[in-house]
Amino acid sequence: MIPKRTALISAVALVLGAMSVPQAAAAPFGLVGWATQGGGTTGGGSASPVTVTTASAFVAAAKASGAAVIRVSGTISLSSMTKVASNKTIEGVGSSSAITGQGLNIANASNVIVRNLNFRSWGDDAINVQYSTRVWIDHNTFSNGYDGAVDVKRASDYVTVSWNKFTSHNKTMLLGHSDDNGSEDRGKLRVTYHHNWFDGTQQRHPRVRFGNPVHVYNNYYGGVTDYGVASTVEGGVLVEGNYFENTEDPFHRGEGSSPGGSLVARSNHFVNSGTGDQGGSVKSIPYSYPLDGASSVKSVVTAGAGAGRG
């Protein structure tokens, strides 16, 4: 059931157009952001759930055609990146369901939801999204992996990454894999990152190429050791209402050999952190969204982010 307060906020936003609506309490757990666009994201929808407990059963269900709700029970160890086909919801049962060894390859797919899973010790990416649209990554926990936790690239579009916890990891979230891929990526790579908890992770929260507008709002950056957000080649990032604590470099333009993109920062909260580098302009956000006050984001996010919390 949608809380009356949330319904009222949504109604006001529809009347006033795409805008943020500051509020005193936590934003709802429902889908918000870019994954609401292009027809929306429903995953497997009302398909009868199928519970899997082995890697072979999981792989078969994930790559099969047709809508499916796949429930992961216990820990599944994957030996290779597993293809996820269109119209799938993949969700953990309870708070301890996990995927280890390797991760999910959401490639050439649309309308996919991944939620309530613990990803640990992956050998490539935990979740790789490429040539895919309408994807929602929600309420997962990521730790101790090799490469990206959630990487979005190669003309993917309409993605929301929300209420996840990232810990004990280096390369957290890459958006756009190469400075030379503009022919595919321009006008796409539109992603919303909100209410995620970056707990002592190092870099790429996210690192952005080409996507514009990319929306980074109401996230908690706690002790990020390298940098928070980087906007590079032709990127346009709105960094809004986030809580940065013990994070010397919260956001900047340019990274490595990549030239700077545009970055607009507003209404962020800083505790023992730098003030960041911003400049340029970013395209307008087309959807409405409830916005928590930045000073409350730490308590809101630490109470609600991660597997088993949604």
Euclidean distance between CA atoms 77 and 181, whole angstroms:
33
Catalytic annotation present for 309: no
Q: Which of 120, 204, 207, 253 is catalytic?
A: 204
Euclidean distance between CA atoms 224 and 246, whole angstroms:
7
Q: What share of the chain is helix, strand, coil (3-state, %, to 5)?
A: 15, 40, 50
Cα→Cα distances 115→45, 179, 250, Å: 14, 30, 27
| 8 A C-beta contact, residue 188 and residue 219 | no
Which tokens go with 130? 């490429």
Based on the number of CB atoms within 10 Å of its own CB, is 253 exposed (0-12), middle (13-18) or buried (19 or more)?
Answer: buried
| 8 A C-beta contact, residue 24 and residue 293 | yes
Helices then strands, counting H and E runs in the chain, come out as 4, 29
State the amino acid at position 226 in one-letter form: D
The DSSP 8-state label assigned to residue 15 in this structure reads H
The DSSP 8-state label assigned to residue 154 in this structure reads T
Strand partners of residue 88:
68, 112
Query: Whats the size of the chain, residue-wise?
Result: 310
Which residues, 6+ apart, have CB-to-CB distance to 213 below 8 Å? 190, 236, 237, 238, 282, 283, 284, 285
| 8 A C-beta contact, residue 22 and residue 293 | yes
Dihedral class, residue 11 (left if φ above 0, else alpha if ψ from -120 to 50, else beta)? alpha
Residues with active-site annotation: 204
